Structure 1
Amino acid sequence: MTDVKLEEEARVPGGAAPRRDALLSVRGLAKHYPVSGGVFGEKAVVRAVDGIDFDVSPGETLGLVGESGCGKTTTGRMVIRLLEASAGTITFEGKDVTKARGRSLTQLRQDMQIIFQDPYSSLNPRHTVGRIIEMPLNVNGINPPGGRKKRVQEMLELVGLNPEHYNRYPHEFSGGQRQRIGIARALVVQPRFIVADEPVSALDVSIQAQIINLLRKLQSELDLAFLFIAHDLAVVRHFSQRIAVMYLGKIVEVGDREAIYERPSHPYTRALLSAVPDVTRLGNADSKRIRLAGDVPTPLDPPSGCRFRTRCWKAQEKCATEAPPLTIKNGGSLAACHYPET
């Protein structure tokens, strides 16, 4: 009876209710886009995100990974209300983010910030660096001790830039320096939670390590929590304590770093990990790359049952008729699979 109860409680990350220590809790989050087309103008729905659950604790990094188009970025933008959710709830310190309005929403947005993917397009080329970083202070009506200019210069120094660059323009900086400016802009209002949306994917490999090390340093010094969105599992491994794997709008596996990388339970997670280069496993028969057959199904008409079944080498009849819930597997993670890896 004890084992049955444990499985029922573990159907979503942290159990049916949010974790007690959770800073951010997401339950049943969905984003559907209505579309019309065809000869007769039939209406359909794109299920970009289709009911996901996860928690992020104070000072923790949850890595959100998956192929392009799986709904990672949409999830991150819904969390901080840049996009409105179609369904579900988002709570931050017990406050409902999805229903917040006015002053309540302004305060929540001070606590929850975002670092965008492209450091070239996310900065206004007509504004100076000082004005770009100061903008969140102006919008939120924040007047820090010593003035706004002093706070901006402190942020520039914190991210490894020269405070004297206050009056320079974005085009005078490299890609890595621009991303540091974006990080400074996110930190200037002293948030507690940050959505990092592919923050290093547009940078050279040599610069990626510098930015990741900077984020780790800032997390330690400022006690920040992150939702770290990426498709590069090697990068995610170095920055995240827990990992959530998405496929076609659903979370298919979530667990701590060791469980996901050493003992993956979901076939899709195993396939993703097999594509990560690892020089320590060259020549090892167990490290053979798994090549998935077919294309990712359209979110307009996702497969019945398990959404991964059309590309899964372990799929059986049950997978087409019954959607697997997230339950604890032998590897220690929560996985949505009827026939998990062993």
Structure 2
Amino acid sequence: MTEVLLETRGLTMHFPVRAGAVFRRKVGAVQAVDGVDLTVHQGESFGLVGESGCGKSTTGRLIARLLEPTAGSISYAGRDITHSSRKELAPIRPEIQMIFQDPYSSLNPRHTVGGIIAGPMEVNGINPPGGRKKRVRELLETVGLNPEHYNRYPHEFSGGQRQRIGVARALALKPKLIVADEPVSALDVSIQAQVVNLLQRLQRELDIAFIFIAHDLAVVRHFSQRIAVMYLGKIVEIADRADLYGNPHHPYTHALLSSVPDADPDSESHRERIRLTGDVPSPINPPSGCRFRTRCWKAQDICASQEPPLVQLGGTADGHLAACHFPEPRQVVATA
């Protein structure tokens, strides 16, 4: 196993809820992320999946230090960056980059493509050999765009091409870690595979670690080596791709995978659809104990009184972790 690049322990983000027209006193908090433990190794593609509103995008922004965490710790390359100042983060910023979800709003319409991609280099005072313009043209070619489009504006490109521009901007500073926040969810289905394949090729060739955030389980399975499943601000399961999809332990993961369309409904691996009852509880007032218990068909009294820890199950040593008092039985699965 390669060296650990990023590690979070008890990572928490609570957004205050305020009331009152004048004093704006705090009356509660949205528990968007609540005690997340993650480890990402150098050059690894790590997937983070869950329903909308589960806190996965907030987790990504915390890791990139675009948000200040309420509690917990973030360690990058052995250095604690949890509450580092802007000046202290300056040498680390180039190494952690983001690809945003919306290729339309994430690019400044007043700037040319060349200016957008060269921007990070200007901010960090980087002058690559041959100049910034040459580097930008190389990046455009790397992501599959015409280098001659240097002087064009974002509105002249399609959604897929704009996302490629966003990818080129993220690569400009030669990062070691890229947080990709739902990078293909806003794109046409026919374009999604092209962008995912591009990211996969760059991850492999440039040895960049990726945190790939998405709600599409099929896309995450194609891209990620290890996957974490998130529900209502908590990580409920982490496992290798083959083990997670072939042998889920947590009931929520089991339900998520049962909703994935199967190309061959008569195959032996076909899962019966599990329909969860009720709505996702409010993150302002989440359930006690296990947060999934209000929708879980296996819930018992202990699920309301005790929060299940994220632990290795069944005495195995394969790194398959789950947070459940009554996990699904372990099976022998083939590797992907």
Shared fold, TM over 0.5: yes
Letter in 1 for 2:6: L
Structure 1 segment 17-28 matched on structure 2, within 5 A: 21-28=3-10
1:58-109 residue CA offsets vs partner (Å, 9 max, x unmatched): 1101100000000000000010111111111111101112232244311111
RMSD across aligned positions (CA): 1.8
Rounded to whole Å, the distance in 2 between the matches of 1:107 and 1:147 is 21
Structure 1 segment 1-342 matched on structure 2, within 5 A: 21-37=3-19, 43-282=27-266, 287-330=271-314, 333-342=320-329
Letter in 2 for 1:53: D
CA separation of 1:151/1:286 partners in 2, compared to 1, >3 Å: closer, same or farther?
closer
Rounded to whole Å, the distance in 1 between the matches of 2:83 and 2:276 is 40
Rounded to whole Å, the distance in 2 between the matches of 1:102 and 1:54 is 24
* Structure 2: stretches of 5+ with no match in the other structure: 330-336
1:38 is displaced (CA, Å) by: 8.5
1:31-77 residue CA offsets vs partner (Å, 9 max, x unmatched): 00111349996711111100110111011011000000000000000
1:220 is displaced (CA, Å) by: 1.1
Letter in 2 for 1:36: R
Letter in 1 for 2:131: G
1:170-198 residue CA offsets vs partner (Å, 9 max, x unmatched): 11111110000000000001101000000
Rounded to whole Å, the distance in 1 between the matches of 2:224 and 2:26 is 43
Structure 1: 4+ residue segments shifted above 6 A: 38-42
SS of 1:209's equivalent?
A: helix
CA contact under 8 A between 1:97 and 1:108: conserved in structure 2? Answer: no
What number of residue pairs does the alignment pair up? 324
Rounded to whole Å, the distance in 1 between the matches of 2:20 and 2:12 is 25
Letter in 1 for 2:9: R
1:202-227 residue CA offsets vs partner (Å, 9 max, x unmatched): 11111111001101110111100001
Q: Once structures 1 and 2 are overlaid, which stretch shifts more, 25-34 or 42-51?
A: 42-51
* Structure 1: stretches of 5+ with no match in the other structure: 1-18
1:285-309 residue CA offsets vs partner (Å, 9 max, x unmatched): 9522111000000011110000000
Letter in 1 for 2:75: T
**TM-score, structure 1 normalization:** 0.91
Rounded to whole Å, the distance in 1 between the matches of 2:140 and 2:26 is 52
Task: Pick the structure with more helix per residue.
Answer: 1
Q: Percent identity among equivalent residues?
A: 66
**TM-score, structure 2 normalization:** 0.93
